Every structure is written in C-alpha cells, then in structure tokens.
Amino acid sequence: MTVLAFIIQILIRDVLSNLVLSIPLRDSNPHPCRIRRHAPPSSSPPNNPRLQTSFFPVDPSTTMVLAAVGQFCATSNVLANLEACKTIVTRAAAQGAKVVCLPEASDYIASNAEEGRRLVESRKTNTLLQGLQESAKEHGVHVSVGIHEKTDDPKRVSNAHVWLYPDGDHTQIYRKLHLYDVDIPNGPIIKESNSTVPGTKLIPPFETPVGKVGMAICYDMRFPELALRLRSLGASCLLYPSAFAVRTGAAHWETLLRARAIDTQCYVLAAAQVGKHDKEGKRQSYGHAMIVDPWGSVLARCHDVDSEPTFCVADISEKHIESIRRNMPLWEQRRTDVFGERGGSKGDKSGDDFPTGDSDRGED
C-alpha cells in the first residue's frame, strides 16, 4: 500500500467515525449530537446506543452503563434554570441513562458579582438542588451538577460540584480548586477570585454506576496534576462540569478533554453551559458538551450552540478501561523515581500529600 493510499484510508475512517445521530429534547424531531459510527444506522436514535472506538472495540457482551452530559444556557432566573435541568434529567433517564451530568453554575449565571451575591443560597436551601433531588428520586438516576454556595466571606461564594444519589442525598461535594483569573489577548480580563473562594482539597474518587468518579470543575482541566492524582486514587471517570468561554473553548476545549482522558486512561464527562447568559451578550459560553473515552476518542458531543436544553449520551464500560490500561500500562511505566508523583525532583513524593477530604455529608 502506498503512503497516499494509507493516508486516504485513514481519512475515510475518520469521516465514518464522525457520523451523526440525534437525541430529541425540544420536540419529537431529533436533536443533533454526535455518537460513534458503531451505532446502527437509523433516522432516529436507538434506545441505548452502544458506542465504541476504532482501536479498542468493546465486546458487545460487556456490561455497559449509559451516561448523559447536558448542555443549556443558565441565566439569573433560578426557576427557569431548574426547569431546564429537570428537562435534561427526565429526557436522559427516558433514554436509559443512569448518570446525568449538568453544567457548572447550573443554579444561576449572574450579570455581575453583586447580583450573584443576592442569588446565592446555602446548600440546604438551594432551590436548584431541592428540585434535582426530586428528579433524581423520581427517575432513579445519579445527577452531577455545578452550583454556587454561600461562604463565610460576604463578598465571595463557593463554586461547587455536587453529586446527587437516587435517594436524593448529596454526600459528595467538591469545591473548585483552580479559579479562572486570566487576561485573554484582545479579550476580557477575568478574575474569578474576586467573587469566589477557592477550594482547599480534592474529594477521593467514589463508586458510582459508571465506575469510580473523580470530581473537578471547568478550569481545573488545565491542570493535569489534579487529573493524575484522581487517577492515582482510583478514578476511572473524570467529571468536568463547565462554563467555557467561547474564545478559549474554540481553541482548547476538545483538546484539553481528550488530553486528560489520554493522560489518565479515564472516561471524561463534560457537561457545558452554552449561549448568551444575558440580554447584552456580555457573558457567553462555548457549549459542545462532550464524552471522551480512555483512548481519547470523542464518543458523543452536543453540536447545537443555541440556548435550548439538550444532552448527548454514551456507554461507559469498565472492561473497556481495563483493556486500554492493560494494553498500554502507563501507570506501571511512570518514572516517579526520577520526577516524583507530581513532576518534582528525583525522589519527590509530594503527590502523596495532595490534600484530600472525606465525603461531605451536606452540613452548612
């Protein structure tokens, strides 16, 4: 086979791997979301699409769990945001999803810090969480969602990632470690730390229907040390509820998510905010909610970038993770004797001291 013929064959395979199927939300017509080429051809989505990658096909007899990542446009209207989230949960559960992931800041996106301080609630009284607790119970699903929390600082809130169980309890709470303080060339200067208190610890991965979940939020994906630490603690699935800016999203969103999946050989689930969050369009989010497998293949993504609630789904397979890790044993090959657990000097074991906390039981 000539080099040209080989290149053509690769291009054809990649085109075929990006065929589009749909998940309906707004009406009975399909809502476009990409899933992998191994789903059966149809004008409407299968009830439980089996998604695979080109290099490591999943044994069809393998037990798989369907997960969904949602996408919508939050505003300062908390009740409207709740309805959007409940719509995603209801429709995803109807498709067979056992885990439904919702974006960062699903409770509200304020037009300014002062409005945000007026809207923030304690976790026990959070309107969005209370509504989603009911949805989780009603549909028997696990729900991941990003919210704001009150803190001891009257001028700043906490950016939190909450895991709701089907019984409605929320015992897993992670608070964003890395805050979005940036100066984008020809773009805005943003200082999340002006309005948000940073977290101080990570939450050890915990068992779920999609394996051991490691929790993070949005900007955290730019820091591979966090993802690697979660993997070393046993994570098989990393969650990044997000509200990525349009400019940085177009440049880095997919690259970062695929990189973290490849680094850790974990599934990566990233729900996303999308569209204009205020009438003036001062705050806009990139969207493109996505699920990536441990090989770095994009299994599903939401293509629409309007403000309508939508979601995409993919199957999560523990056997698939085991196969990839067995065939490419990165963890056993890491030279921590040279660079340490977190890339420090030889013999540096600082990664062993990465602060972790017990599961949060929902106290204020």
Catalytic residue among 33, 85, 149, 176: 176
250 falls within a domain: yes
For residue 44, what are the CA distances in angstroms to 28, 39, 82, 98, 231?
10, 11, 28, 21, 36
Where does the chain show beta strands of DSSP type E? 20-22, 32-35, 65-72, 99-101, 142-149, 157-164, 172-175, 181-183, 189-191, 196-197, 206-208, 211-215, 237-239, 267-270, 272-276, 284-286, 290-292, 298-302, 310-316
Domain with residue 111: its CATH number is 3.60.110.10
Question: What does the pLDDT read at residue 281?
Answer: 78
> What is the chain's percent helix, strand, coil content, to nearest 5?
30, 25, 45
* Active-site option among 33, 85, 104, 149: 104
Decide if 359 is inside a domain.
Answer: no
Active site residue 279: no
Tell me the C-alpha distance between 131 and 120, whole Å.
16
Q: Cβ distance 14 to 297 under 8 Å?
A: no
Structure tokens at 293: 């497998």
On whether residue 304 sits in a domain, the answer given is yes
Asked if residue 58 is part of any domain, the answer here is no
- What per-residue confidence (pLDDT) applies to 268? 99
Q: What is the pLDDT of residue 112?
A: 87
Residue 306: which of 282, 285, 279, 280 has the closest Cα? Answer: 285
Q: 10-residue block means of pLDDT along the chain (364 residues)?
A: 54 46 39 32 35 56 90 97 98 98 98 91 93 97 98 95 90 95 81 95 97 99 98 98 95 98 99 93 92 98 85 97 96 91 48 59 41
- In a domain, residue 319? The reply is yes
Q: Which of 218, 237, 266, 312 is catalytic?
A: 218
Asked whether residue 13 is assigned to any structural domain, the reply reads no
176 catalytic? Reply is yes
Is 206 a member of any domain? yes
Predicted confidence at residue 184, as pLDDT, reads 76
Can 134 be counted among the known catalytic residues? Answer: no
- How many domains, the chain? 1
Domain housing 187: 64-353
Helix (H, G, I), strand (E, B) or coil at 290: strand
For residue 179, the model assigns a pLDDT of 96
Any domain includes 38: no
Two tokens, residue 175: 């608070």
* 8 Å CB contact between 238 and 245: no
The pTM of this model reads: 0.82
Query: Residue holding tokens 């996505």?
Result: 290
